[in-house]
Amino acid sequence: MTETGNAPRIRYDEGCLASHALNLIGDRWALLVVRELMFGPKRFQMIRAGLPGITASVLTGRLNQLQMAGVVDHDDKLGVYELTDAGRGLLPVLDALCRWALTVPGHDPTKFISPSALMISMGANLMHDRAAGQRIRAGFDFGREAFEMHLKEGRLHTVAVAKPEAAFVLSGNGNALAMAVYGPEPLSQLLDKRIIGMDGDIAVAQQFADLFSLAPTS
């Protein structure tokens, strides 16, 4: 949806539901703004920190558009943005995009990965057959952001927290913790190299990390 003054300009004048969706959330950066807000409210600068390359003016424009679309709310008193129910309903869309991306070439995991991006990626790439019957509470500390993941009945539930309380807490930036989850090296080696930090039970942490794969599923 492209904004002209205070009124949105419809880009796709069709009755197709996909066209309607893209009129609302199809502009550049829009879905990535949603990604950054998926697990809880954030202030403007925190959102921008997860989107390297976006300018302040473009982010302001996207947030305004997403508000008009009913996807984002802004609390003027607290100065934070958060997703509406409609916005949170886009999580399966982001999951599907992650899984589809594994089937096409060109992904470069060495480029910047935000904490929220990794959390969504893990939700999309959980190996459900291995996870069945396991119950684990995992913690992730990225410095400015932290999360808990609750694995139960083969499903993950992720929440943003001030301080994780879990069987283990892995710490580092998004790329380092992506290496911990998806990379070939065991956690013990990453710890020895100080690529990541960890508190808690390393055996449970390794058991948890082994539940994720970047291999496309059939």
pLDDT band at residue 9 under the 50/70/90 scheme: low
Q: Which two tokens stand for residue 60?
A: 């302001």
The tens digit of pLDDT for each residue in 16-34 reads: 999 999 999 999 999 999 9
Write out pLDDT tens, residues 41-70: 999 999 999 999 999 999 999 999 999 999
Backbone angles phi, psi at 152, to 5 degrees: -155, 130
> Considering 88, 120, 142, which residue would you say is the last residue of a domain?
88
Q: Total domain count for the chain?
A: 2
Last residue of a domain, one of 58, 88, 118: 88
d(CA 196, CA 131): 24
CA distance 30 to 160: 21
The domain boundary residue, chosen from 25, 59, 88: 88
Query: Strand 7-9 and strand 197-200: pairing?
Result: unpaired
* Burial class of residue 172 in the structure, from the number of CB atoms within 10 Å of its CB (0-12 exposed, 13-18 middle, 19+ buried): buried
For residue 195, give the CATH number of its domain: 3.30.1050.10
Structural domain containing residue 10:
2-88
Do the Cβ atoms of 98 and 178 come closer than 8 Å? no
Asked if the structure places residue 218 within a domain, the reply is no
Is 215 part of any domain? no
Q: How many CB atoms lie within 10 A of CB 195?
A: 18
